[in-house]
Amino acid sequence: MLFSHNMPLLRAIKCNIVSPRIPFHLYNRNYCHSGAGESFVPFDVLVSQRRNEARRSLLVEVAGLPSSTDLHQVCSQYGAVRKMFHYTTRHSNVNKEMILVEFDEAESLEKALQATRSPPTERIIPVHSPFVWLSASRTASSNRKKTNISSTTDIMQETVPSNEELQLQLSQSRDLSEQIQKSYECQKLTELGSRLRFFTCRQVEVALSGLFPQACVLPFGSSVNSFGRINCDLDMILELFDVTNQDTTQRLVFQAKKSRSAANPRITMQRHMEVISDILDNFVPGCSQVRKILAARVPIIKYRQDLTDMECDLSMANRSGFYMSEMLYLYGSMDKRVRPLVFAIRKWAKDRHVTSPYAGRWVTNFSLTLLVLFYLMRTSPPVIPPLQMLIKLAGDDDVRTAESINCTFLRDLKILTASDNKQSLEDLLRGFYEFYDKFDFKERGLSVVRGDDFVKPEHNALYIQNPLERELNVSRNVTLEELERLRSEITHARYRLEEDTEHIEEQQGQQPWGLLSLWGASHKPQAHRGLNASIDWQEVFHIQEQETPPTPDKQLNVSPVHAATKSNEKVQSNGEKTRNNSKFQPVERTKMLKEELIMPSDLNGLVTKLKRNVVQKNANGKKNKKQKFNKVMYKW
């Protein structure tokens, strides 16, 4: 049943009656006309609300949708069921019908898991986890009859428009602004998508909870920064214990083993990740294709979670990536035009092969998003303020430090007023292409911190200052060739849109126009962006010569292991960074990487996500400054 043409649909099925519902994933989105407004939900609140849902949720594989009533009755024995979502996932040519059940209380989930039985154990090791399946056992059904609980919870189903449906909707739009808005509504991460991402994080927490009851796994990147598409990957950080909440006056202290490599925290972390990846690989249901990429500066474990249908990247000691996501979320919340515009430009870049799912010498979605934000700071009047304004407005509650990086900035946007800029989405999109068509990439770098450009301090083709680690360039990987491609696509897009304006009446309804003409598949996908790509792995990894490996077996077998750094930086013993511009030629390692047949996607974000054991000078200065603007609306 269709009830809206321009967004993922949510269906509620109750007693076989299919009835429309208001898609409640909208409840935490900002629908004010401008500015974050009263409906703004701080990132911390959003994350803890989602984590809370995940702690009360159970994922059940069922025979089919009709089993939902049965499942509801089974679950209701343990406590009230609040919501149920149905979806189908396909793995190895087999469809699996899945239902995500949310209980009212976490205790109900505990009771359900305590009552859950193990499968026959001849060939498998049963694991206590919130991933279960519903058997057709007679015993279970007679128990249910006794409880006599009726099914009253709706089963929610989301229907995502196909490409063809999206194209139809866009071609029927009134204007380009409506197209941009519709395309955002259709492609943004849905309620279920968001829940499943937090639930997938929860699974890792539960798996490690025996040894580490405080283990915390947080999503970051596009899963939470509000720029994530349906099916985006899941970036996660794992923290094994909570250092912040320790009561140092307590007399009892846990016994613990001293790490054999305590002198080198990086090797210690690699060893821990070895163990964690083995746990995921051997015990955790649904985890497949587990690969360790520990040679990176920030080691990651990549795997697929088949039951929630997503690609996962797990890292440790990467909290600043989480705060970076919070910063992007804040910018997305500041003005209702930011997210649709970023979506349209990310989709354009994807279709025109400016970006790629594989990491390499091209612009990433993260860099592209910073380009859009920078442009929105430079419109007249600006749509969004520079980051330094959020830093100035930060109060005591906003102070955060991660991996020695100062991540302090205003978190509650309610004190900001709306921008005076009233341009339409269409004008902003055109403006984006015009702005970058003229931008002097050769000489100038971009800073979203100051909202201004500056003379490039290095000879990288594209220089986008890292907003949190200001001395780094997030687009250091981009080659001149790729920058030229980006620029020529920008020029092309600009003229395409101008042509559209001239011939709009003839084109509407006949030829692709607006976003459809802009996106239109570009030249054939480039070979160098695929599996057999001739990627300059050395450039991608920024491989260094010094380090020695932890244990070589099963990890990406780059022996000896070479640390990757951002921007060729080395940290001296005194904590100062120096540039290491010396070129080295790890030909053999490059070869080995290729021979391992590691997908280029394995490198996803290896450069960009590689974190930072470097000491950051206090770039934000007065971080503990008392918040002065609490009660006043701050006009910027």
If the CB atoms of residues 89 and 475 are measured against ligand CTP, the closer one turns out to be 475
User: Which residue stretch of 186-194, 225-233, 422-430, 572-580 sits at the interface with Mg ion (rule: CB under 5 A)?
Assistant: 225-233
Cα–Cα distances (Å) from 295 to 300, 535, 573, in that order, read 9, 17, 21
Number of H helices, E strands in the chain: 19, 18
Residue 169 binds what, of ligand CTP, Mg ion, none (CB under 5 to 8 Å, by partner type)?
none
Cα–Cα distances (Å) from 229 to 226, 347, 633, in that order, read 9, 10, 33
If the CB atoms of residues 331 and 433 are measured against ligand CTP, the closer one turns out to be 331
Residue 608 binds what, of ligand CTP, Mg ion, none (CB under 5 to 8 Å, by partner type)?
ligand CTP
If the CB atoms of residues 235 and 602 are measured against Mg ion, the closer one turns out to be 235
Separation CA 89–CA 59 (nearest Å)? 13
Give the residue nearest to ligand CTP (CB). 221
Separation CA 33–CA 97 (nearest Å)? 40
104-143 in b/e form (b: 16+ CB < 10 A) is eeeebbeebeeeeeeeeeeeeeeeebbbbebeeeeeeeee
DSSP 481-547: HHHHHHHHHHHHHHHHHHHHHHTHHHHTTTS--THHHHHS--SSPPGGGSTT----HHHHHTB-S--
**Smallest gap, in angstroms, from Cβ of residue 178 to ligand CTP?**
25
Distance of CA 378 to the CA centre of its chain: 26
- The full 3-state SS of 196-225, as one line of letters, equals HHHHHHHHHHHHHCCCCCCCEEEEEHHHCC
Separation CA 176–CA 519 (nearest Å)? 13
Distance of CA 617 to the CA centre of its chain: 27
If the CB atoms of residues 75 and 483 are measured against ligand CTP, the closer one turns out to be 483
Our finding on whether 301 is near ligand CTP (CB under 6 A) is no
Task: Pick from 102, 235, 453, 482 the residue near ligand CTP by CB under 6 A.
Answer: 235
If the CB atoms of residues 517 and 601 are measured against ligand CTP, the closer one turns out to be 601
Cα–Cα distances (Å) from 527 to 350, 358, 485, 520, 587, in that order, read 15, 12, 15, 19, 22
| Interacting residues with ligand CTP between 209 and 228 (CB under 6 A) | 220-222, 225
User: Which residue stretch of 97-105, 184-192, 533-541, 602-610 sits at the interface with ligand CTP (rule: CB under 6 A)?
Assistant: 602-610
**Smallest gap, in angstroms, from Cβ of residue 210 to ligand CTP?**
29
Number of residues that bind ligand CTP (CB under 6 A): 19
User: Which residue stretch of 118-126, 230-238, 567-575, 590-598 sits at the interface with ligand CTP (rule: CB under 6 A)?
Assistant: 230-238
Our finding on whether 325 is near ligand CTP (CB under 6 A) is yes
User: Which residue stretch of 60-68, 103-111, 222-230, 317-325 sits at the interface with Mg ion (rule: CB under 5 A)?
Assistant: 222-230
Torsion of CA 557, 562, 565, 570, to 10 degrees: 170
Residue 365 binds what, of ligand CTP, Mg ion, none (CB under 5 to 8 Å, by partner type)?
ligand CTP
Give the number of other Cβ atoms within 10 Å of residue 421's Cβ: 17
> Cis bond leading into 130, ω under 30°?
no
Number of residues that bind Mg ion (CB under 5 A): 4
**Smallest gap, in angstroms, from Cβ of residue 296 to ligand CTP?**
13
Task: Pick from 6, 89, 315, 466 the residue near ligand CTP by CB under 6 A.
Answer: 466
State the Cα angle at 79 between 78 and 82, rounded to 5°. 130
Our finding on whether 222 is near Mg ion (CB under 5 A) is yes
Residue 612 binds what, of Mg ion, ligand CTP, none (CB under 5 to 8 Å, by partner type)?
none
If the CB atoms of residues 359 and 384 are measured against Mg ion, the closer one turns out to be 359
**Smallest gap, in angstroms, from Cβ of residue 365 to ligand CTP?**
4
Torsion of CA 581, 314, 591, 551, to 10 degrees: 100
CA-based torsion, 58, 64, 68, 69: positive or negative: negative
Look at strands 405-406 and 401-402 and give their pairing.
antiparallel
Residue 466 binds what, of Mg ion, ligand CTP, none (CB under 5 to 8 Å, by partner type)?
ligand CTP
CB-based contacts of 334, cutoff 8 Å, min separation 6: 35, 36, 384, 385, 413, 416, 419
DSSP 300-327: EEEEEETTTTEEEEEEES-HHHHHHHHH
- Alpha helix ranges (H) inside 39-175: 43-55, 67-76, 106-115, 138-147, 163-171
Task: Pick from 30, 305, 308, 364 the residue near ligand CTP by CB under 6 A.
Answer: 364
Our finding on whether 609 is near ligand CTP (CB under 6 A) is yes
Our finding on whether 221 is near Mg ion (CB under 5 A) is yes
**Smallest gap, in angstroms, from Cβ of residue 235 to Mg ion?**
5
Structural element, H or E, at residue 588: helix 587-595
Contact (Cβ atoms closer than 8 angstroms) between residue 79 and residue 107: yes
Residue 220 binds what, of ligand CTP, Mg ion, none (CB under 5 to 8 Å, by partner type)?
ligand CTP
DSSP 450-476: TTEEEE-SS--SS-BB-SSSTTSBTTT
Residue 225 binds what, of ligand CTP, Mg ion, none (CB under 5 to 8 Å, by partner type)?
ligand CTP
Residue 423 binds what, of Mg ion, ligand CTP, none (CB under 5 to 8 Å, by partner type)?
none
End-to-end alpha-carbon separation of the chain, Å? 45
Binding mask 228-257 for Mg ion (x = CB under 5 A): -----x-x----------------------
Residue 366 binds what, of ligand CTP, Mg ion, none (CB under 5 to 8 Å, by partner type)?
ligand CTP
Task: Pick from 538, 608, 616, 620 the residue near ligand CTP by CB under 6 A.
Answer: 608
User: Which residue stretch of 46-54, 246-254, 317-325, 485-493 sits at the interface with ligand CTP (rule: CB under 6 A)?
Assistant: 317-325
CB-based contacts of 114, cutoff 8 Å, min separation 6: none
Contact (Cβ atoms closer than 8 angstroms) between residue 403 and residue 613: yes
If the CB atoms of residues 156 and 317 are measured against ligand CTP, the closer one turns out to be 317
**Smallest gap, in angstroms, from Cβ of residue 608 to ligand CTP?**
3
Binding mask 46-75 for ligand CTP (x = CB under 6 A): ------------------------------
Our finding on whether 232 is near ligand CTP (CB under 6 A) is yes
If the CB atoms of residues 185 and 233 are measured against ligand CTP, the closer one turns out to be 233
Residues lying near Mg ion in the complex (CB under 5 A) are found at: 221-222, 233, 235
Residues lying near ligand CTP in the complex (CB under 6 A) are found at: 220-222, 225, 232-233, 235, 320-321, 324-325, 364-366, 466, 474, 605, 608-609
